[in-house]
Copies of this chain bind each other. A is one copy, B any other.
Amino acid sequence: MLAEIIAVGSEMLTPHRQDTNSLYLTAGLNDLGVSVAFKTIVGDNRKHLVSAIRIALSRADIVLLSGGLGPTEDDLTRECLAEVLHLKLHRSDAILESLRQRFSARNIAMSPNNAKQADVLDGATILPNAAGSAPGQWLDIHYEGNRKLVALLPGPPKELKPLFDAECKPRLAAALPGNHLARRILRMALIPESQVDERTAPIYQQFPDVETTILAGHAEIQLHFVCVKPTLAEAEARVDDVLDLVAREMGDAIFSFNGESLEEIVLLMLGVRGHTLSIAESCTGGWLGERLTAIPNSSRVFLGGAIAYSDRSKTALADVPSYLLTEHGAVSDQVARALAEGIRRRIGSTLALGITGIAGPAITTGPDATKPVGLVYIALTNGEDTQVKQFRITGDRDRVRLWATQYALEILRHYLQ
């Protein structure tokens, strides 16, 4: 079974907006053992949309359309699908009534063009939209002699996602032959993709029925294993088999077996080990703090820290002695150590990290003037021992900063293991 996803909306043909619904829909289709063969993005243009729908119906078994269900003249998805399928639209009294209630609950007069949202293709099932005014529609039809499953879904992700899960996915599952999909995700940081592939390919290639994908980016490598079988137990067993062998090969380079992020794992381990953490960040400027505090309940183990961006703030917030800054420069083994030790004493956490480096542009005066962009020192202290590591990170300012936060989290994870 092949699927095509059509995202409708002229804004997605500008340099500023992108379709993201298709990622969510793809995950849902994959869960049912269905692959996506094509994605098409088309504007609010009758001729173009009719042509895109016609092509999709001729090459895919399942066609999901998102967007173009609103009340304006630009919203053409219903009309265009009706044209291609030679179906008529009828105005649904039930939808009209719920639209009226929606508007009166908000004390707004319903403008006449809103009634358009009550237009339903003959033979379509209405899919209620709990989060918005435009309902979805579902068609199980024949087109050029073949069975096609077609869904019209609203464009806003907050409406599309719950509607797809509640109304569309169960109908797809009921219409499809018994396919069950198991998926596992391994995540690794700070290891080259080529090395991961070299070491794991001989393993995963022995599992031709498991689809293995290596994704690299954002300072980590992900290995995705997906298997489709007639029963869930069979699919899970195969995925677990390859996962066990790969895990044995890659050892503790793997930080997560179920898709959790590195910061989630580190926070979890801090809690399990009864530790608390504080940080002092120079070149990363708060990014490590932001990553940790993006996780709900991080306050149980993360106590806070210093954005020690200037010499003055290093001294004032983390008690870095000024002579270290003058003698060794802010970007030095000694200052990384002093940042970690100073912030730990100040905040009273059991562990602390200190990060200092040159994200770029190069520093042109003082003791750091000779040091290269990308030089980063990271210190971890438990109050008794402090370890400092030096890194040379390549790439632009953003990459140096991201990788510095990633190295800091990895140092902490290895310490906690």
Chain A residues in contact with chain B, CB under 8 A? 11-18, 20, 23-24, 26-27, 30, 35-43, 45, 48, 51-52, 55, 59, 213, 215, 222, 224, 278-279, 281, 283-290, 292-294, 296-299, 302-310, 312-314, 316-317, 346-348, 360-361, 397-398, 401
Chain B residues near A290: list those with CB within 8 A: 284-287, 289-290
**Lowest 7 CB-CB distances: which A-B pairs, in order?**
A285-B293, A286-B289, A304-B313, A286-B286, A15-B27, A304-B309, A39-B41
**Distance to closest chain B CB from A294 (angstroms):** 7
* A17-B347 Cα distance, complex, nearest whole Å: 41
Q: Within the complex, which residue of B40, B213, B360 is in contact with A39, where a contact is CB–CB below 8 Å?
A: B40
Given contacts A297-B361, A304-B317, contact A15 B41 (CB under 8 A): no
Residue contacts A-B, CB under 8 angstroms, 25 given: A13-B37, A15-B26, A15-B27, A16-B23, A16-B224, A17-B215, A18-B20, A37-B43, A37-B45, A285-B290, A285-B294, A286-B286, A286-B287, A286-B292, A286-B293, A286-B307, A287-B289, A294-B397, A302-B309, A303-B309, A303-B313, A304-B317, A305-B313, A306-B317, A312-B348
Task: Check B286 against A309 for contact (C-beta < 8 Å).
Answer: no
Contacts of A278 in B (CB 8 A): 313
Contacts of A293 in B (CB 8 A): 283-287, 307, 309, 401
Contact A13 B41 (CB under 8 A): no
Complex alpha-carbon distance, A38 and B19, angstroms: 13
CB A49 to nearest CB in B, in angstroms, measures 10
* Known A289-B289, A289-B307; contact A38-B37, beta-carbon cutoff 8 A: no
Once the chains are docked, how many angstroms separate the CA of A302 from the CA of B282? 12
CB distance from A16 to the nearest CB of B (A): 6
Q: Enumerate chain B residues within 8 angstroms of A346, measured Cβ to Cβ.
A: 316-317
Q: Is the Cβ of A30 less than 8 Å from the Cβ of B43?
A: no
Q: Which residues of B contact A289 (CB under 8 A)?
A: 281, 285-287, 289-290, 307, 309
A241 CA / B261 CA spacing, docked (Å) = 49
Quick check: B309 and A307 within 8 Å, CB to CB? no
Work out how many copies of this chain go into the complex: 2
Whether B39 and A38, one on each chain, are in contact in the complex, defined by CB atoms closer than 8 angstroms, is no
Question: In the complex, A360 Cα to B299 Cα: how many Å?
Answer: 11
Query: Which of B11, B39, B296, B309 is within 8 Å of A215, CB to CB?
Result: B11
Asked if B360 and A296 make an inter-chain contact with CB atoms under 8 angstroms apart, the answer reads: yes
A222-B312 in contact (CB<8A): no
Closest to A300 in B: B310
B27 & A13 in contact (Cβ 8 Å cutoff): no
> Which B residue's beta carbon lies closest to that of A226?
B14
The closest CB in chain B to the CB of A35 belongs to B13
Minimum CB–CB distance for A29 against chain B, Å: 9
| Minimum C-beta distance from A68 to chain B (A) | 15
Give chain B nearest CB distance to A219 CB in angstroms: 15
Beta-carbon contact of B313 and A347 below 8 Å: yes
- Nearest Cβ on chain B to A286's Cβ, whole angstroms: 3
Q: Which of B27, B41, B298, B317 interacts with A38 by CB under 8 Å?
A: B41
* A286 proximity list for chain B (CB < 8 A): 281, 285-290, 292-293, 305, 307
